[in-house]
């Protein structure tokens, strides 16, 4: 029986391994982590992350061929294929601070693999890493090899949170990069056979190691760039009376552009887009390509601009001060169908409002109050280090808001600021609200307020 061990039981390690286990009953899959609470939660009825469909998949194979354990060394030693899916956060200090990927967790995982291995291993980079990381990992492993043969593969993950199970069941593609040697090709083939249990062969792409590593950073950069592009347009829409939803629809009809990922918003969040672009920027700088670095930096700048533009809009609409005004924030996670708050734009928006002394009340059915307090107190980039465990999943409470009742109880004029274009603005206007929707023609009230930037 082939044995797979995955180091890192997070948003990627947990769901990806659960899907491999459910699709490959003949493979034993063990997910290990240094965090005992996380492993305990994976072994309990309340999984550590909320992801539609995940409970069913885990329940179908946990205890059969899927296991979660803190006995990292034992399972690494026994495995044929080791996935490494640990955090690769942005460095907070030292060389490259604020940009470069912090490979501390990756390096310690690699050193541990070298320490405990007694048989040949295929080591798979699942985490998103800088290009050429495989070379560094190879050095760590081969310099401590005791005659053991290691093959390093890059197999980046493209799942999005909220749709992880769907994405894993039907991936657009699986990407596997390996060394172009006979041993490298054999290792690629071995991993390909795992995915071939459920992914059509034409959707499994094989490349060299560096192409695979770079493709992951490139994919996230292109996706984030689309959002910054449409968000930049949303500012122009507000200035001109155009409607960003109409513009997105019109341009998305061009088959070369396509309709997806064109929703204007208060800015993109999540644990990866910003981190991976900063990492790309750093790699470009290190390779003497400042123009390329600046090009990608602009994607982050527009995202920051969009978040501060939203806060400025709220404050300027309410007579240029929100001091002591009560602001209810509905939704705190970085997108729907997740309890993940890493880099959520809500943090910047709330901090902006709190900075202007607003009284902010925050509600998200998937996020605990404790997590929200922690997020608002934390320094930039600190969140992605393992000591801060991510939110658990309180059970989802679905509830409809009674806007008429809310309006009746509010001071007038009453405002709704929609950073996601999800409310029915016309209905709210009929009730009497002044409504701001990102990138939509402005209410007369908002037009008369001072220009914002
Ligand atoms: N979250 C997402 O949607 C996606 C994330 N990625 C990438 O996957 C990687 C992991 O991301 P997440 O799963 O979101 O992170 P996460 O923070 O949810 O999980 C990482 C886990 O690794 C564990 N860990 C760290 N060092 C360890 C060690 N030496 N030994 C054992 N366990 C260790 C931590 O305790 C933590 O539970 C990152 O590189 C990220 O960029 C890629 C695609 C999607
Ligand atoms: O490397 C990663 O971590 C993953 O990053 C993203 O996935 P994720 O961050 O989970 O979620 P997305 O659906 O991409 O949303 C990211 C952010 O962009 C925002 N967004 C998305 C789409 C859009 O049209 N507009 C928009 O503002 C979302 O609200 C959210 O804040 C990518 O979509 C995945 O392919 C990738 O594997």
Residue 130 in any domain: the answer is yes
Count of domains observed in the chain: 2
Distance 127 CA to ligand 2 centre (A): 16
Q: Which residues are part of the catalytic machinery? A: 272
Instruction: Say yes or no: 150 and 227 in one domain.
Output: no
Structure tokens at 59: 């329940």
Residues 167 and 234 in one domain: no
Atom of ligand 2 nearest to the CA of 269: 31
Residue 361 lies in a domain: yes
The finding on whether 12 has its CB within 6 A of some atom of ligand 1 is yes
Helices (H), 345-422: 345-355, 369-377, 403-408
| Domain stop point among 199, 232, 257 | 199
Separation of CA 261 and ligand 2 centre (Å): 8
pTM summary value = 0.93
Is 104 flagged in the annotation as binding? no
Check residue 300 and give its pLDDT.
Answer: 98
Ligand 1 pocket test, candidate residues 5, 9, 11, most atoms within 8 A of CB: 11
Which of 80, 75, 64, 53 lies closest to 9, judged by CA? 75
Is residue 360 assigned to a domain?
yes
What percent of the chain is helix, strand and coil (3-state, nearest 5)? 45, 15, 40
Domain that holds residue 433: 218-447
User: Within this chain, do residues 290 and 364 fall inside the same structural domain, yes or no?
Assistant: yes
58 and 153 co-located in one domain: yes
User: What is the block-wise mean pLDDT of the chain (453 residues), using blocks of 10 residues?
Assistant: 96 98 98 97 96 96 98 97 94 91 92 94 95 90 86 97 97 97 97 98 97 97 98 97 98 98 98 96 96 98 98 95 96 93 96 95 94 89 59 52 95 95 95 96 82 55
Instruction: Examine the domain organization and report whether 327 and 410 are in the same domain.
Output: yes
Domain shared by 420 and 272, yes or no: yes
Contact 82, 76 (CB under 8 A): yes
ipTM above 0.85, yes or no: yes
CB of 13 within 8 A of CB of 155?
Answer: no
- What is the Å distance from ligand 2's center to 387 Cα? 24
* Residue 208, strand partner residues: 178
Q: Is residue 206 included in any domain, yes or no?
A: no
Query: How confident is the model at residue 159, as a pLDDT?
Result: 98
Cα 53 to Cα 161, 362, 401, 423: the distances in Å are: 12, 27, 26, 27
Show which of 199, 231, 254 is a domain's final residue. Answer: 199
133 and 231 both lie in a single domain:
no
> In degrees, to the nearest 5, what angle opens at C-alpha 277 toward C-alphas 273 and 282?
150
Please indicate if the annotation marks 12 as binding a ligand. yes
> Are residues 277 and 149 located together in one domain of the fold?
no
Q: Are residues 194 and 222 in the same domain?
A: no
Predicted pLDDT at 395: 45
Same domain for 25 and 153, yes or no, is yes
Domain containing 427 — which CATH number? 3.40.50.720
* Residue (of 440, 424, 421, 417) closest to 246 by Cα position: 440
């Amino acid at each position: 029986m082939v044995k797979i061990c995955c180091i890192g039981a997070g948003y990627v390690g947990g769901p990806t391994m659960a899907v491999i286990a459910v699709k490959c009953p003949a493979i034993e899959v063990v997910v290990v982590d240094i965090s005992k609470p996380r492993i305990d939660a994976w072994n309990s009825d309340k999984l550590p992350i909320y992801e539609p469909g995940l409970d069913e998949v885990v329940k179908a194979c946990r205890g059969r061929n899927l296991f979660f354990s803190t006995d990292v060394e034992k399972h690494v030693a026994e495995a044929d294929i080791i996935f490494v899916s640990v955090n690769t956060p942005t460095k907070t200090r030292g060389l490259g601070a604020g940009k470069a990927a912090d490979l501390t967790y990756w390096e310690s995982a690699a050193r541990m693999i070298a320490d405990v291995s007694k048989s040949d291993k295929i080591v798979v980079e699942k985490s998103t890493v800088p290009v050429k990381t495989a070379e560094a990992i190879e050095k760590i492993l081969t310099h401590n090899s005791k005659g053991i043969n290691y093959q390093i593969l890059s197999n980046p993950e493209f799942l999005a949170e909220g749709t992880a199970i769907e994405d894993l069941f039907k991936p657009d593609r699986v990407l596997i990069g390996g060394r172009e040697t006979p041993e490298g090709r054999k290792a690629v083939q071995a991993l390909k056979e795992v995915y071939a249990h459920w992914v059509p062969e034409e959707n499994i792409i094989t490349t060299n190691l560096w192409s695979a590593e770079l493709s992951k950073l490139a994919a996230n950069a292109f996706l984030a760039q689309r959002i910054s592009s449409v968000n930049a347009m949303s500012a122009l829409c507000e200035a001109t009376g155009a409607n960003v939803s109409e513009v997105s629809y019109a341009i998305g009809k061009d088959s070369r552009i396509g309709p997806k990922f064109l929703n204007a918003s208060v800015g993109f969040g999540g644990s990866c887009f910003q981190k991976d672009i900063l990492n790309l920027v750093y790699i470009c700088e290190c390779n003497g390509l400042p123009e390329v670095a600046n090009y990608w930096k602009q994607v982050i700048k527009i995202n920051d601009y969009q978040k501060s533009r939203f806060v400025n809009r709220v404050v300027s609409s309410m007579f240029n001060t929100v001091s002591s005004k009560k602001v209810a924030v509905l939704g705190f996670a970085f997108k729907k169908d997740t309890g993940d708050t890493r880099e959520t734009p809500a943090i910047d928006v709330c901090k902006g409002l709190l900075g202007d002394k607003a009284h902010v009340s925050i509600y998200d059915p998937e996020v605990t109050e404790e997590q929200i307090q922690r997020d608002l107190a934390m320094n930039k980039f600190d969140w992605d280090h393992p000591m801060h465990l991510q939110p658990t999943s309180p059970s989802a409470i679905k509830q409809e808001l009674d806007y008429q009742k809310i309006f009746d109880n509010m001071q007038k004029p009453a405002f709704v600021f929609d950073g996601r274009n999800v409310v029915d603005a016309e209905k709210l206007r009929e009730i009497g609200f002044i409504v701001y929707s990102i990138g939509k023609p402005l209410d007369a009230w908002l037009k008369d307020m001072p220009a914002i930037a």
